[in-house]
Every structure is written in structure tokens, then in C-alpha cells.
Structure 1
């Protein structure tokens, strides 16, 4: 639960609203601690995430807690301790998590704390396992190739039969079209 003061300064209210506005554009959030990363490393990570249209926002924890409470995103307060950066995504969050975990191998200072994906809270172990699952587009491509494979094989077999018959000099059997009246 976020700590709310009795009288809130207008600047803080504006900062909370800006944080909330930034968060409302996205449905999935991956939380990471960036303590110990250099500016160059953070810039490199942001560039990798930007290629997937994913912003990485460094947040003030109390502002983020208030914003998430107002958005009815529950149980993420545990991730908002220490220096926190939030990667925000609308689709293929597993690919975003994969980028973060791959980057953490290069820069061990980056620690993925957890995530809020599809209205579910993931701890660090669960989000790491989720990062290893193929993305939605990859799964669709795999399904389509599985469906398309037998049809391609049938077409190739039929074409081979037609080619064989034409090489033998005999015409391939052709169904006659009904005579027009």
C-alpha cells in the first residue's frame, strides 16, 4: 500500500499523475533493479527494448505505488523497493523478459524482480521461465507451418504425378468439364 500524505504538494500530485498516465498506456509491467549499471549500459538496454517498442522507465517507488493502486494493479508493491526500472509492454512480454534476462547475463547488476503480466503477478523465477516460451508471433508461425506442411506435400505429390505422366508421353487424366448448353 502506498503512503499518502495528508497534504500533498502539487508537484508530487503532478508527478504521480504523469506516472499513472505513462503506465495506463500499457498492460504488462516487468520490474528490475538497476543499481550498479552504468549510464552506457542503461542506454544500451533502453535501445534494445526500444526496438520492440518497449519503454524502460525509472520510477520513484512511492509514486509508482500510488499510480498502480489507482489503476487497480495489485500486489506489485513488493517489486517497488530499491532503485526500480519498469519495462512496459502491450504484447509479447515474454520477449521483453528475454531481453532483460539476456542483458542481465552481460551486466549482472541488472536484477529482474518480477512482473505483472496479463493481470497476474509473476515472481522472478516465474518470469524467467515465461521468458523462455516462444512469443505469440512465433507460436502462430509454428502452427501455420504445421498446418501448411501436409498441403504442400499433397501439392508436390500431385505435381510429380502430372510431370511423370507428361514425360511418359501420355496425357495425365483430366476431368472433362460438363458441356455448356
Structure 2
């Protein structure tokens, strides 16, 4: 491969690593062209499955900032699933294909900035897909929104009840304050009358 072609290949792989949500490294030794085509079809738009050259891929992985743990997995015939969509769906696709075609060996990966070994990629495949999680979230939000709507509808009634209670309390407090004042006025008038009666006549 010419030097310019190598540089272009490395740049393309580096861009794939940097723009992907994840990269799952596999060994495909013994798989036929037809089987690889089937795998690519099964992965659909979630991932691009590419056969790579280890030497160039190690350089690209280094340029993309992937750690040595991932680069050390690049041994033997290597192919990488560059995941652009749901990483769980891609992991499921690879796991299910590997079960039916044991010649495909999942070696590890790099998902959302975190290195993963083969077992962790398989565990990832056991999770619920993004669509399922979004559906559950939508259901939860729908229930929460219904509760919120009921709460908002109840607020005017509760506010009116609170305002009425405060008004009644203020009136009660006003009456209580007024009663001692009236009594004080009565006591003062009575005292004045008594003074007048006790005063000596001129």
C-alpha cells in the first residue's frame, strides 16, 4: 500500500473511531463473504462492519485517543463494528450472529469512551434497547404528566379554600380585637359617671 493510501486509511479509521458511539472488535477467521454480508445486513444502520488491517488500525486507535488495552486486542484477522446508533442493538446483533456462527469471536470494544472486554460487550447485549427504554420513559412521563395535570387542576380549588380560610381567620381575629376595645370604652364611661356622682355640689 502506498504511503498516501496508508495515511488516508489511517485518517478514515481515526474519524470512524472519533465519530462512533462505540467500536466492537471481532475476529472473523473462517467466515465466508456471504456470512459477512449477512452480518452487515443484520446490523443494519446501527453499525458499519469493516475488515481492518491491524497495523493501520493501531495507529488510528492511538490517534483517536483509545487506550492500549483496546489496541492490544488487534491480533489475528480483525473486523470492527463501528456503532453509529444504538450500541445495545449493535451488541445484540453481534452476539446473536456469533451464537449462530461461532467463527465470529467478539474480542472487546470501546463504548462511549469506556473500554469493554468480551464479557462486558455480551452483558451490554442483554440490556434493553434504546427504543424499549424510551417507550418505558414515555409511559412513566405520561403517568407523571397526568398526575401533574391533576395537581395543577386542583391548585385553583386549594388556593380558593386557603384564601377563604385566611379571610375567616382575619375576621375572627378582628372581632376578638374589637371586643376588648368596646369593653374598655364602656369601663371608661362608667368610671366617668362615678366621678361625677362623687364630686361635691357647689
Q: TM-score range by the shorter chain?
A: 0.7 to 0.9
Aligned pair count?
A: 146
Query: What is the Cα deviation at residue 147 of structure 1?
Result: 4.1
For the 8 Å contact 2:46–2:87, the answer to whether it is kept is no
Q: Secondary structure at the match of 1:141?
A: helix
User: Is 1:104 paired with 2:98?
Assistant: yes
Question: How far, CA to CA, are the matches of 2:40 and 2:87 in structure 1?
Answer: 15
TM-score w.r.t. structure 2 length? 0.65
**Equivalence map 1:70-81=2 (5 Å):** 70-74=63-67, 75-81=69-75
Structure 2 counterpart of 1:44, from 28, 38, 54: 38
Supply the distance in 2 between the matched residues of 1:9 and 1:144 (Cα, whole angstroms). 52
TM-score (structure 1 length as normaliser) = 0.72
Aligned to 2:6: 12
**Shift of the alpha carbon at 1:113?**
0.6
Correspondence for 1:26 among 20, 28, 50: 20
Task: Provide the alpha-carbon RMSD of the alignment.
Answer: 2.3
Give SS of 2:23's match: strand
Q: Is residue 139 from structure 1 mapped to residue 110 from structure 2 by the alignment?
A: no
The 1:114/1:48 distance shift into structure 2, 3 A limit, reads same
- 1:66 matched to 2:65: no
Task: Return 5+ residue gaps in structure 1 as ranges.
Answer: 1-7, 156-181
Question: Which is higher, the Rg of structure 1 or of structure 2?
Answer: 2
Does 2:76 match 1:82? yes
Give the match for residue 164 of structure 1. Answer: none
Q: What SS does structure 2 have at the residue aligned with 1:94? A: helix
Change over 3 Å in CA distance of 1:53–1:140 after alignment to 2: closer
Q: 1:21 to 1:32 in 2, by over 3 A?
A: same
What does 1:101-180 correspond to in 2, within 5 Å?
Answer: 101-148=95-142, 151=146
Q: Which has the higher helix share?
A: 2
How many Å separate the matches in 1 of 2:19 and 2:25? 16
